A and B are shown apart, each in its own frame.
Chain A
């Protein structure tokens, strides 16, 4: 039983049965444009890297899917299937208070990621799932281990852009809630990163206006 659910630039995603558990299988398919040996090395190291970051995030208190199986030779990761609803689709269904609480929590986890030296790389509301009481961060395919302020600012800016474009109705209050949560976990490092986020956003505006 294997069902292809998504085909991205990086990998194909399948829903599979893993010893009786419903699981997500992420397969990095060979790219025929690359030399086979280079292709093999890259898929292997990207697979290791992603598994490592998923684990590292969990170790630092950010909910991520459980890893069931990592087969780096075939560039396959089998992980927990997160049954729930994407934050992207959830926002409009919540009450004012629920929405703000949710984004405080998301900000809190984003801060934990950054504090642990992890840049998510694709921090959007499509990559965070509410599953029961858990808020789970998924898709670490573009993540990297990095503690530079610039990287943090760019990561945060992506979330801000998502709020402005997709959740524009609540952009201001959600951004404030997100920042509140972020400050709690990032402590004294928060201010610099949040300031950089504003700066990165302004670069974009400068481009729009000029």
Chain B
């Protein structure tokens, strides 16, 4: 019953290789969540090629999402878009689409922080109220929690994201892209733990050394791919576990939420449950459909930001590729 909702938001996500169009209503209903993924012919994401893909499929994707939701453009109340952080060319493509829609249809525009959106969709979908959040994906690795007006960052990667480490290794070892699912399948058959660098620096993480090391272990030809995947996964996730556990003990948050694309990994989800249990917190894992980069999370965060008074005028709707989540004021959590 769409027309009973106070607000309908259309969200455009285009921070990296996913072009996502989501339509969400203010009564927590995901009406459409269409994701078109750019798969590079070879190598990793080329920002310009990905942006070209997004602009090519923008119109058709919006139409598909509207059809899925069973509404017309005139029923949309606000246009939300991921304003950062992400790859500049990809962000600009999404922002251009959003500006065009907002200006042509005379609808309010709301720029959303991509990382905040991952947290907010996790809260909406799981019902978590005040979680410590482990957000892990191909581009980000952040442990954060709400504290007086902001999502404070307790720990984060100093170089590459854990998902990026997996994807790059998968490519080097000839596994499927994206790397996560294939590595998880192979890891389930592995058993030998190969010693790898474990890089937790204070509360921060580093994955570049781990990537170099696992790649050269692969190149020696001495280990089975199953053992390599097993060792990579165990080491990478133990690092996440240590930082998450420390932040959870420090903040005494009652809940622990796992969100982002890597949340689809069952081994990591089971680690998060173990950690939460040890500290008397309730674990939550974002549903798979909302774990990857998607438009619904942008649309939903657009709604709560809009209701808290956020508007993004056209003249200040430029994208910010290095927009930290702790720079965003979060009035809706007060």
Contacts and interface: CB of A to CB of B under 8 A. Distances in A.
Interface of A: 8-10, 31-35, 37-39, 41-42, 121, 142, 144, 207, 210
Contacts of A33: 237-238, 241, 245, 270-272, 274-275
B202 interface: yes
B70 to A, nearest CB: 41
A132 to B, nearest CB: 31
A28 B315 CA distance: 55
B100 interface: no
B234 interface: yes
B246 interface: yes
A29 to B, nearest CB: 9
Contact of A34 (B238, B248, B326): B238
B193 A38 contact: yes
Contacts of A207: 150, 326-327
B226 to A, nearest CB: 15
A35 B249 contact: no
Nearest to B196: A38
Contacts of A39: 238
B92 to A, nearest CB: 23
B249 A8 contact: yes
Interface magnitude class on chain B: 20 to 34
B274 A38 contact: no
B190 to A, nearest CB: 11
A39 B250 CA distance: 21
Interface in B178-213: 193, 195, 198, 201-202
B198 A35 contact: no
A41 B198 CA distance: 11
Classify the secondary structure of A's interface with B: loop
Contacts of A37: 193
Given A121-B202, A207-B326, A210-B327, A35 B238 contact: yes
A107 B250 CA distance: 25
A10 B246 contact: yes
A34 B246 contact: no
A35 B245 contact: no
Contacts of B270: 33
Contacts of A41: 195
A41 B242 CA distance: 14
Contacts, number: 46
A39 B241 CA distance: 11
A10 B279 CA distance: 12
B235 interface: yes
A34 B327 contact: no
B198 A42 contact: yes
A81 to B, nearest CB: 23
A31 B275 CA distance: 8
Interface string B248-278: 1110000000000000000000111011001
A142 B193 contact: no
Given A37-B193, A142-B202, A9 B248 contact: yes
Nearest to B230: A35
Contacts of A34: 234, 238, 241
10 contacts: A9-B248, A31-B245, A32-B274, A33-B272, A34-B238, A37-B193, A121-B202, A142-B202, A144-B202, A207-B326
A120 B133 CA distance: 27
A31 B248 CA distance: 14
A71 B237 CA distance: 27
A193 to B, nearest CB: 17
Given A31-B278, A33-B274, A33-B275, 10 more contacts: A9-B249, A9-B250, A31-B241, A31-B245, A37-B193, A38-B235, A38-B238, A121-B202, A142-B202, A207-B326
A142 B204 CA distance: 12
A151 B327 CA distance: 23
Nearest to B153: A207
A26 B150 CA distance: 35
Interface in B299-334: 326-327
B245 to A, nearest CB: 5
Among A41, A144, A207: residue with most chain B CB under 10 A:
A207
Contacts of B271: 33
Nearest to B235: A38
What are the 3 tightest A-B residue pairs by CB atom distance, in nearest-first order? A9-B249, A33-B274, A33-B271
B257 to A, nearest CB: 16
A38 B238 CA distance: 8
Nearest to B268: A33
A35 B325 CA distance: 32
A144 B200 CA distance: 11
Interface in B215-244: 234-235, 237-238, 241
Contacts of A42: 198, 238
Nearest to A119: B202
Contacts of B237: 33
A39 B239 CA distance: 11
Contacts of A144: 201-202
